[in-house]
Amino acid sequence: MPKKDNPVMRRASHADDVVLLGFAGGSGLGKSPAAAHKNGAGGWALFVPGDIEWKAGPDSLAPGAKVAILEGDPAAEGFFTMRVMLPDGYRVAPHWHPKTERLTIISGTLNLGTGDRFDAAATRALPAGTYSSMPPKMTHFAWTTGETVLQLSSIGPWQVIYVDPADDPRSKRR
């Protein structure tokens, strides 16, 4: 009886080849979005944690936040993924986003609450490994325990709309 073509095994075998190629020769992948996307649209993006380049967070977040864009452009139309690093005790005032926001807690603890008023006691502690998908216009706020890294994916352009405009860090920088 002839062997049937097993597409799962074929994909797994190909994935092994790709992983091996990625480790051979110190390819430089994962050092920056430009390096990771050097092969053009649809190229392989690989970001090793120690090689991720962190930059100051966007004006829509209070000083102290750092970001690393992994894929796409949060300021443009289309899918994007970024990591956000927040120091211990960092607070994000109640806000919402016009599009679904998907978070994975990579490290640390994000204390997440919902509603129009910041209430640290009303948050739920989300440890590393937690995934959250928040629908558009869901008002939420957060604070961190320990340095916390989040992976955030959404459809751009990414916007942060604060419930109280006085909480918006962009208004404080003027």
pLDDT, tens digit, 9 for 90 and up, residues 58-68: 999 999 999 99
Beta bridge partners of residue 79, listed in sequence order: 155
Say which CATH number the domain at 81 has.
Answer: 2.60.120.10
Q: How many residues does the chain have?
A: 174
pLDDT at 21: 29
Residues 105 and 166 in one domain: yes
Round to whole Å and give the CA distance between 113 and 81: 22
d(CA 65, CA 174): 19
pLDDT at 103 over 50: yes
Same domain, 111 and 30: no
Residues 44 and 128 in one domain: no
Same domain, 130 and 61: yes
Q: Which amino acid is at 43?
A: G
Q: 76 and 125 share a domain?
A: yes
Q: Please choose, from the candidates 138, 36, 51, the residue with its C-alpha nearest in 3D space to the C-alpha of residue 81.
A: 36
Does residue 30 sit in the same domain as residue 80? Answer: no
Tell me the C-alpha distance between 116 and 137, whole Å.
Answer: 11
Q: Look at the chain and report how many structural domains it folds into.
A: 2
Reply yes or no on whether the pLDDT at 17 is more than 70: no
pLDDT(48) > 70: yes
Residues 10 and 61 in one domain: no
Domain containing 38 equals 1-51
Question: CA-CA distance, 63 to 79, in Å (whole number)?
Answer: 25
